[in-house]
Amino acid sequence: MGRLLLALLLLAAPALAQPRETLTIGITQYPSTLHPNIENMVAKSYVLGFARRPVTAHDADWRLVCLLCEELPSLENGLAQRETTPDGRPGLRVTWVLREGLRWGDGTPVTTEDLRLTWEAGREAATGMGPAEFYRSAYEFIAEGPRRFTLRFDRVTFEFASLGDFAPLPAHLERARWQADPRGYRSRTLYDTEPTHPGLWNGPYRVAQVQPGAAITLERNPHWSGPAPQFRRITVRTVENTPTLEAQLLAGQIDMIAGELGLPVEQAAALIRRTGARFRAEFRPGLIYEHLDLNLDLPALRDRRVRQALLLGLDRAQIVARLFEGRQTVAHSSVNPLDWPHDPEVRQYPFDPARAAALLAEAGWTPGPDGIRRNAAGERLSFELMTTAGNRSREAVQQVIQAQWRAIGVEARIRNEPPRVLFGETLSRRRFQGAVLFAWVSAPEGVPRSALHSSEIPSAERNWSGQNYTGFRHAEMDAILEALPVELDREARRALWRRLQAIYAEELPALPLWFRQDAHIWPPWLEGVRPTGHLNPSSLWAEHWRAR
């Protein structure tokens, strides 16, 4: 009997030793598009992190690194050179060299012609690609062979080595589509009409199957030239309702929940307390700014006193303590205390409903018979309050905000939408009628030009590119946003950042709520995932993920 048992165990050992080949990940949003250069959405960045690579990115240690290039350009190594632009201004000539052996998933080499297409499409306003200022400033693209390219900039900036979202597009597939109709390109791109085409992807994985609104399945890219990923298949499943997402994790239907778009911290903490060692969790604070964007085209919200009253009427410290177990940091501007430009002396708005009421009265809003304030024309101080449908945490926050604003005579009408609709249509086309609760994720010392500069207000003329959804216009803020990138002296930049935060805290184009922690929940057998806490998601390094 003992020998029989030993033989059975020996026969079973090879099967037990088989490495895990699949990984199923849960997130709470589905991308509105898979095009890497159109619209910004965390869900898209996370999914595309597996399947495509930008030229440069910030890693988990917040260092700028090469992903597709051989070496970061600098003045010291000669890849960056100061020069004078044709119109006589100080400029930069910056060169990157692509790594050897890069290929798209159909075997076509990644070359400078792919980057030329990105540059040309970005320079054409009708395409609707951002960031617009980058493409405006990069006034010339020079291909010095299939792997070496140079951009000439009409300004000298401290962030010249970073290419941000400037990533190659497969020219052999996308150029003809773009040239045929630049304005209609965003609806005709293969990234949305045929996303499983292998030639669209240059990362360790390629998109193999798409279930719109539900899941995206990725498989190994046979033409990937970097370290071989362990998992044969990765499925990213969208579950917009966070209790359902947790239930699927407990039922084994998903292996992990990505912190970039996962459970709220209080829900994750309760889960870990209940399940013990069944899962691993990492709570990572980062450059994630939860806030309320306000549509400043609405007459009531255009008045700065009303915006200040709305913030004074919110007990953010109590919300953080009660709803988030104190794990979030109350925000007083859009700059995180983890980032060096943060000004600890920036103006703060403590909970003060009496002061809020006084400001509203000063602005001409007096209580009506139902408690909601009215102006001289009898119009109620009432507007919509929106967020991503199914996010239990945000929906709970909405209820508190609604109650606290009602206490000062403001009516907030809750109306929520699925994330792909809210971000893909309502925000980007500025169709919201009040306030929207969501988060910005930024890079270290990320200059918020796209969200605050008046030229970045989305419009039909720009094919709805830009992220200044509030419609904020402020001449001094525009000047600071233009001066910050070109100021090379750190202390001088600090002074500009301090003034930026002062204007933000005074004008309140958006209402700061808190800086978020992300809760990353993994199975105990998964190794190698390194949350970044900023704009570039952990999936950009998925080839290093391993199962024990």
* Per-residue confidence (pLDDT) for residue 40, from 0 to 100: 81
pLDDT band, residue 466 (cuts 50/70/90): confident
Coil, strand or helix: which one is 161? coil
Task: Please determine, for residue 6, whether its predicted confidence score (pLDDT) is greater than 50.
Answer: no
What's the mean pLDDT when you consider all of the chain?
Answer: 93
Q: How far apart are CA 437 and CA 435, in angstroms?
A: 7
Structural domains of the chain, ranges and CATH numbers in brackets: 18-32+203-279+523-547 (3.40.190.10), 59-176 (3.90.76.10), 286-517 (3.10.105.10)
Which pLDDT tens digit goes with each residue over 330-346? 999 999 999 999 999 99
pLDDT band, residue 548 (cuts 50/70/90): confident
Q: Give the least confident one: 352-361, 383-392, 495-504.
A: 383-392
First to last CA, the chain: 32
* Per-residue confidence (pLDDT) for residue 463, from 0 to 100: 84
Task: Please determine, for residue 7, whether its predicted confidence score (pLDDT) is greater than 50.
Answer: no
Tell how strand 329-330 and strand 546-547 pair up. unpaired
* Per-residue confidence (pLDDT) for residue 202, from 0 to 100: 97
pLDDT band, residue 18 (cuts 50/70/90): low
Q: How far apart are CA 106 and CA 198, in angstroms?
A: 5
CB 385 within 8 A of CB 415: yes
Task: Please determine, for residue 219, whether its predicted confidence score (pLDDT) is greater than 90.
Answer: yes
Which pLDDT tens digit goes with each residue over 133-163? 899 999 999 999 999 999 999 999 999 999 9
* Per-residue confidence (pLDDT) for residue 391, from 0 to 100: 85
* Per-residue confidence (pLDDT) for residue 11, from 0 to 100: 42
Task: Quickly tell me which residue has 């720009």 as its tokens.
Answer: 462
* Per-residue confidence (pLDDT) for residue 462, from 0 to 100: 79
Tell me the residue length of the chain: 548
* Per-residue confidence (pLDDT) for residue 308, from 0 to 100: 98
Chain Cα centroid distance, residue 316: 23
Whole-Å CA distances, 358 to 367, 376, 448, 507: 11, 16, 32, 18
Task: Please determine, for residue 268, whether its predicted confidence score (pLDDT) is greater than 80.
Answer: yes
Which pLDDT tens digit goes with each residue over 489-514? 999 999 999 999 999 999 999 999 99
Task: Please determine, for residue 15, whether its predicted confidence score (pLDDT) is greater than 80.
Answer: no
CA dihedral (335, 338, 339, 345) positive or negative: positive
pLDDT band, residue 206 (cuts 50/70/90): very high
Percent of the chain with pLDDT over 70: 97
Please indicate whether residue 18 or residue 229 has the higher confidence score (pLDDT).
Answer: 229
Coil, strand or helix: which one is 422? helix
Task: Please determine, for residue 8, whether its predicted confidence score (pLDDT) is greater than 50.
Answer: no
Which pLDDT tens digit goes with each residue over 407-433? 999 999 999 999 889 988 999 899 999
* Per-residue confidence (pLDDT) for residue 14, from 0 to 100: 43
* Whole-prediction pTM: 0.84
Whole-Å CA distances, 368 to 308, 372, 479, 520: 21, 5, 42, 47
Which pLDDT tens digit goes with each residue over 65-109? 999 999 999 999 999 999 999 999 999 999 999 999 999 999 999
The closest alpha carbon to 482, from 154, 166, 79, belongs to: 154
What DSSP element (H or E) covers 342?
Answer: none
Percent of the chain with pLDDT over 90: 87
HEC assignment per residue over 381-392:
CEEEEECECCCH
Task: Please determine, for residue 21, whether its predicted confidence score (pLDDT) is greater than 50.
Answer: yes
Q: How far apart are CA 219 and CA 440, in angstroms?
A: 30
* Per-residue confidence (pLDDT) for residue 460, from 0 to 100: 86
